[in-house]
Structure 1
Amino acid sequence: MKKIVVVGGGYGGVSFAKRFAKYNLDAEVYLIDKNPYHFLQPEVYNFIANKYLISDVIIDLSTLAQGLGKTVYFFKDKVIKIDFDKNTVIGEKFGLQYDYLVLAVGSRTFFPPIEGLRKHSSGVKTLTRSLDFKQKFEQKILKKIQEEDKCYIEKDKQFNIVVGGAGLAGVEIAAEMAYYAKMFFKKIGFLCEGLSITLIEAADTILPGQHPYVLEVAYNRLKSLGVDIITGKKITKVEPDKVFLEDGTEIKMDFLIWTGGIIGSTLIPRLGIKMNRKNQAYTDKYFRVEGFDNVFAIGDCAEIRDPDTGNIIPPTAQIAIQSGEIVADYIKSILKGEPLNYKKPEFKGMVSALGGKYGVGMVKNSFKVKGYPAYIFKELVFKHYKIPLKIISKKGYRELMKIYEGG
């Protein structure tokens, strides 16, 4: 029986396992991740804003693997090395041999060499960082409430959040936090000014590269929520309570959330494979890592280009999902001795959440949507991905419980 090892339980790895399990081939899938859960990162803003619990933004990988069938296994381990000569994945706890390897290790937040940035900023790309930010944020709000009497006298007691980077992630979290704080203070009858959010982008505009319609709607929404927007200026230094810009401007802050781009997983540079400056593996049009016929890279850890245009396809959740499914089809064809039927992931558009039940989107650069309809559209798209996984996980949970109770 052939063995397929998938390193990474994010969107690419999970989508590969889900797709491949349907084919009922004479092959086993071993899914490895250092965390026991699949983190639904696009839902993190709802989690921070107390719309969701932790259980709403994670899916247990053990029960998911069990629910996918008897030939899918999950191992919780951190991969530290891959021996390509011996076709072996080596973790901190064990080693696994493979016939085919799928790298789906994702990405991490990129921190440029700005003094104090990494030390004094928070992120929301992982569940641990999101939970840490959420707890610290709520503690700060509580402290502000306890000092309500001071805010009439000391105007600098305003609670200040700075968001560095105005790409999709930065815009979404700035909007969601502004909306959440506005509703929170209004609901409890807090008389002070509440929260100040400043969004900073080094480019000349927010959402660089996005359609002008999306940019305009997002800009107007942010301004209506009271977000201060600074573009065309770089952050040059960060202190515990201040952010410094290149023109000498100083901005007071209680929290700095950094969303300034991504870089590939720390595993990729240790493998000795060809990669770009963002630590993303170079692949051919079939997602095979350069120099290997049995090693594939999908999702954010791979540089995925449109072979027809040569343009890089943006590393998004939808591309990770599609690349996982496409590689599952490729390996199925290889195992069945069939020629590879080339497919390429298609960027179908984007829908961005902009606080509360409001959003903006462009589908295939033609269909425009904003406001509540955009919010509903985004919810439906994500539920289409999330609900089937939840159903599979619950099935696996019931099966595991039967085993434990029977034992």
Structure 2
Amino acid sequence: MTKNHMKTHCSILDSICLPDSKLPRIVIIGGGFGGLALVEKLKNKDVQVVLLDKNNFHQFQPLFYQVATSALEPDSIAFPFRKQISGYKNVSFRLANVVEIQPSSNTLITDKGSLTYDSLVLATGTETNFFGLENVERNCLGMKDIRDSLNIRHMMLQNLEQATITCNNEDRDALTNFVIVGGGPAGVEMAGSLAEFCKYILPKDYPEYPASLMHIYLVEASNELLGTMSKNASLKTLKYLKKLGVKVLLNESVIDYNGKVVQTKSGNTLLARNLIWTAGVKGHFPRGIDKEHITNGNRLKTDAYLKVEGYNNIYAIGDIASLISKDTPKGHPQVAQVAIQQGKHLAMTLMNLINKKPLTPFKYKDKGSLATVGKRRAVADLGNFKFAGYLAWLLWSIVHLMSISGFRNKLMVGFNWAVSYFTYEKSNRLIIRNFKPNLNIDESTEAISKKDLIPK
């Protein structure tokens, strides 16, 4: 970079400093799969790219559940943005949380200052959707951030330790019971990993009580698991989970939770100090977009070129975008492959706009779906090929390992998986910090008799 390019415009006190450039400025909010795919395709092009994110690292969300269950450390699935963009001469990263978009002036307001854009790309992803269940939101844990995964880990280990101390049978039951809400890939994979923890780790670490004391419930509101995958995948997954000892409750939903007692829509109750919510997500983006351009799931309506409806230079990709058409009446599925393909396509679109070349609409190419249910068990839908078992698990492992950012991270995860494959060992069972749940237990629930609870 030349000395001229190193000059910055920092004269305005509340402006975010950026390298001087006469090139069109593309600002990307969010460094998830879509945002990074876009950055990668725009590197060293004749545009100034600014990546904004509230974290300074990319998170590999598909493996959050392995951090939560002590199989991996968080630094194995996180990669610094600055290392990612090292050598990209036209890309700058700024650690900032964008709070407002001002489309009329092409300005962003962040917690660190303001900046302007020529084109804006929203790749902010989603947050956990508790569907208005305030008590559930207050007392359970979601799994949308690497910090959530660490909270789940510490909650689990602390509760298991507390169970060895208490002499009250009901308290011990609650401390060792786990309820996972949501039968999608995240919920299924979390349930499978917890079941293996119960089967292989608990007897060695906690001889004070039998492994049979720990019960895992997976609650799904519909009549099948993995609703976005094939019937074959759903049935195989149900079979695998039952074999691992997971109690699957279909056509059931959670309506309340006070930190100890789970209330379901059918009137059942479950004792559990551990509730993990994977039942839904909603779009998350800064204020400033007119409500008329927001659709179901708090997603942004886009045209075929990924431009947000009602705006000339604002685009959306990934989970936040909803491209509604005859083929996708509810928008594209909120999965990593969609975000990656949209990021790559939008890079081409933006460069074609700048160079006054024809545009092509976005077309998603479904490469299939994978989900794992513990070790050596997985399901795969690859076009007309639908299979399950060891081969599907091997494919799942290869795809996920290759998708992780950074050679060191690939090496760390691969090594951990190799050790776990032969030993079932999870060596990261450390309570590094004290997790303090925000419990709101109504004293009246303490009197619920065991006959009112779902039998184990």
TM-score for the superposition, normalised by structure 1: 0.88
Q: Sort the Cα spacing of 1:279 and 1:309 in 2 relative to 1 into closer, same or farther, 3 A.
A: closer
Deviation, 1:82, is 1.2
Asked if 1:368 is matched to 2:386, the reply is yes
Q: Sort the Cα spacing of 1:373 and 1:27 in 2 relative to 1 into closer, same or farther, 3 A.
A: same
Q: Sort the Cα spacing of 1:290 and 1:189 in 2 relative to 1 into closer, same or farther, 3 A.
A: closer
1:274-289 matches, cutoff 5 A: 274-289=293-308
Asked if 1:63 is matched to 2:83, the reply is yes
Q: SS where residue 338 of structure 1 aligns?
A: coil
TM-score for the superposition, normalised by structure 2: 0.79
Q: Sort the Cα spacing of 1:306 and 1:382 in 2 relative to 1 into closer, same or farther, 3 A.
A: farther
Asked if 1:332 is matched to 2:354, the reply is no
* Contact 2:108–2:116 under 8 Å retained in 1: yes
* Contact 1:5–1:30 under 8 Å retained in 2: yes
Residue in 2 that maps onto 1:99: 118
Residue in 1 that maps onto 2:403: 385
Q: Deviations over 1:154-179 (max 9, x none)?
A: 98467100111212221121111111
Q: Sort the Cα spacing of 1:182 and 1:146 in 2 relative to 1 into closer, same or farther, 3 A.
A: farther
Q: 1:136, 1:167 → 2: CA distance?
A: 22
Residue in 2 that maps onto 1:159: 176
Q: How many residues were matched structurally?
A: 385
Residue in 2 that maps onto 1:19: 41
Asked if 1:5 is matched to 2:27, the reply is yes
Misfit runs of 4+, over 6 Å: none
The one of 60, 74, 92 aligned to 1:40:
60
Matched AA of 1:41: Q
Q: 2:329, 2:110 → 1: CA distance?
A: 35
Q: Sort the Cα spacing of 1:305 and 1:381 in 2 relative to 1 into closer, same or farther, 3 A.
A: farther
Q: SS where residue 297 of structure 2 aligns?
A: coil
Asked if 1:114 is matched to 2:133, the reply is yes
% identical aligned pairs: 29
RMSD across aligned positions (CA) = 2.3
Residue in 2 that maps onto 1:73: 92
1:230-245 matches, cutoff 5 A: 230-245=249-264
Q: SS where residue 315 of structure 1 aligns?
A: coil
Q: Sort the Cα spacing of 1:250 and 1:363 in 2 relative to 1 into closer, same or farther, 3 A.
A: same
Residue in 1 that maps onto 2:268: 249
Q: Which runs of 5+ in 1 are unaligned?
A: 392-407
Residue in 2 that maps onto 1:31: 51
Q: Sort the Cα spacing of 1:178 and 1:105 in 2 relative to 1 into closer, same or farther, 3 A.
A: same
* Contact 1:64–1:389 under 8 Å retained in 2: no
* Contact 2:163–2:171 under 8 Å retained in 1: no
Q: Deviations over 1:10-57 (max 9, x none)?
A: 111111101221xx3211110000111111110112212222111111
* Contact 2:233–2:380 under 8 Å retained in 1: yes
* Contact 1:180–1:356 under 8 Å retained in 2: no
Q: 2:72, 2:174 → 1: CA distance?
A: 29
Deviation, 1:180, is 2.0
Residue in 2 that maps onto 1:185: 202
Asked if 1:265 is matched to 2:284, the reply is yes
Deviation, 1:120, is 1.3
* Contact 2:68–2:153 under 8 Å retained in 1: yes
Matched AA of 1:28: Q
Q: 2:255, 2:25 → 1: CA distance?
A: 49
* Contact 2:160–2:175 under 8 Å retained in 1: no
Q: Deviations over 1:265-319 (max 9, x none)?
A: 052x542251113211000011001122321100111113355454522111111
Q: Which runs of 5+ in 2 are unaligned?
A: 1-22, 410-456
Q: SS where residue 275 of structure 2 aligns?
A: strand
